[in-house]
Structure 1
Amino acid sequence: MIVADRRAAYYISGLGYGTPDVAQLEPGVHMAATTGPDDLSIPRIGRHLPRFCDAARPLPPDWASWTRLLSDRTLPAGSELNIPPRSGFGTCSSSVIGIAADPAAPASWHFAAGAPDRVGYAPVMLDVPSVP
């Protein structure tokens, strides 16, 4: 699990018992899966982390450079982010969330209420006060 605010981001992992492990993430682009953040031996991370790092950095509320990658279904099975339905499993929703470093700037959340290549992303209106 990743927990983040405008000041820091943390990767939290555990086996369901005992104290979870907590690691602070450096600023930048990260992906997490079953083994931890940025593990390029995981096919999905090995394929996509470089693609996100090479893509134009989104400037919310314009997420197009990343939502195109999240919607892509042209990749080999096991390495896609937008997983087609098979054996009762597949992508059923997707979100992109941005929190600006400036406390006065609004957060940005776009949500796909289904497979993003089929339904697209729509903004979610956030009515929350800014917190420093």
Structure 2
Amino acid sequence: MINYRNYHEETHAHNWQMKIEPVAHGLKVTAYEGATPFHLLSDRAEATPRHDWYRRYFLMREANRGLNAIEDHLAAGSFQVALQPGETKTVKFTLTPEELSLWDINMKWVVEPGEFEIMTGNSSRDGDIKKVVLTVM
């Protein structure tokens, strides 16, 4: 699930169409023309582009900070890999500073201190979602 929240804006679907395109080993997502794209990649899974908005997520951390805490998230794609009975696979991904950057009030790309929450799951139901929080200092 993707959002594009930054210092100035929250993510709200409305008629927003992010550009999602297949690339070698995955997908490239570009929020708008001129935005830094980010990549969802896998060396073994098959990637399928999607553009499904999940609306009205409640973000507790933002509410605790006194900010608007309702935001939309985009499911930009799905990845599938076949497993044999009893077989497991490890999911790994890399986030570079560029992929965590935002356009600040000085009109520069910066990585601000804070927490970045990454969620994954086989559906959007609370019990199916696993979360990882990255802290930038």
Q: TM-score, normalised by structure 2?
A: 0.33
Which one scores higher on RCO, CA 8 angstroms, separation ≥ 6? 2
